[in-house]
Amino acid sequence: MSNKSFPDLDAYNEFTNDKQIKVLSWNLWWKFENYLDRQKLIFDELKVLSPDILCLQEVWEDSENSQAKKIADLFEYEFTYSKSFKIDGVSFGNAIISKFPILKSSSHLIPTPSEFNENRILIHSEVSYADSKIDILCTHLNYRYDQSDIRQNQVEFILEYISKLENSSFPFILCGDFNADPLSDEIMLITGLKSPIKRTVLRDAWQITNRNDVGYTWSNINSYAKKTLEVDRRIDYIFVGKPARNGAGYPLKSTLVGTSPKDNMYPSDHFGIMTYLKG
């Protein structure tokens, strides 16, 4: 019998640098309820947090101004924006804002049966990072409680899309408002707890970094959320692929964003999430 020991092929070496990338996902609640006052709170919060990559939902744009551009200008970052629909001439959409140069971007309408279609989109940006690239994806799924099946189909579309992307030295990052609990079928499709789509499985950054914290992003602590008489839930996520061999992309810490009101006003009806990823 051989006494030889074999190395663990799945083991990672200790991290050799302290580089981190701060990724933020936040639903900004469009132009609802005192949006100018709320927007100031949003901007103030973002300036304190100083994220490197922002994935934002319910972002407004009209013929004169763009909320995404205003935020990008706070940091002199690059951005891409894509609308889902318009209300009285004001667009409602998603944005990716990046400290790192955006190489290219695209927007994709998520196919949904017409009777359930909320014009949900997936936006994708490739950003330049450390002689390679990071694929950033941002989305916002149907919101009604009784549409888990619709969201599952939307997730399948997103995972099919990701499965066709070229691999990079940094794992894929998928952020957004998924309107679904961590144990819902649609989220379990993403995290591999149900049969995966094209073997594409992503990790829930909050679950890795905060095992004992429910992390409700829809919370009755928030006076805007409380008005809807809905239960507390974690419905906003930052997902990331398997870390690179040097550990790049591994979630180190996650925090909730926008949890402190000013004069009884919250920045949004959602709390956001910011995750520190190994750089």
Per-domain residue ranges for the chain? 20-278
β-strand pairing of 272-278 with 251-257: antiparallel
Q: pLDDT band at 2, cuts 50/70/90? A: confident
The Cα 92–Cα 156 span in angstroms is 23
Residue 229 sits at φ, ψ, to 5 deg, of 60, 35
The pLDDT assigned to 3 comes to: 84
Residue 241 has pLDDT above 90, yes or no: yes
Sheet bearing 102-109, strands edge to edge:
102-109, 121-129, 132-140, 173-177, 236-240, 203-204
Strand, helix or coil for residue 68: helix
User: What integer is the mean pLDDT of 151-179?
Assistant: 96
Distance CA 267, CA 47 (A): 13
80 Cβ neighbours under 8 A, 6+ residues apart: 68, 95, 96, 102, 105, 123, 125
State the pLDDT confidence band at 268, using cuts at 50, 70 and 90. very high
Answer yes or no: are the C-beta atoms of 60 and 31 closer than 8 Å.
yes
Residue 106's region, left for phi above 0, alpha for psi from -120 to 50, else beta, is beta
Read off the pLDDT of residues 187-208 as tens digits, 9 standing for 90 and up.
999 999 998 889 999 999 999 9
pLDDT per residue as tens digits for the range 100-143: 999 999 999 999 999 999 999 999 999 999 888 999 999 999 99
HSE toward the beta carbon, residue 182, CA cutoff 13 A: 20
Q: Are 174 and 134 in contact (CB under 8 A)?
A: no
68 vs 215: CA distance, rounded Å: 26
Q: Which class is 20-278 in CATH? A: alpha beta
φ and ψ of 179, to 5 deg: 50, 40
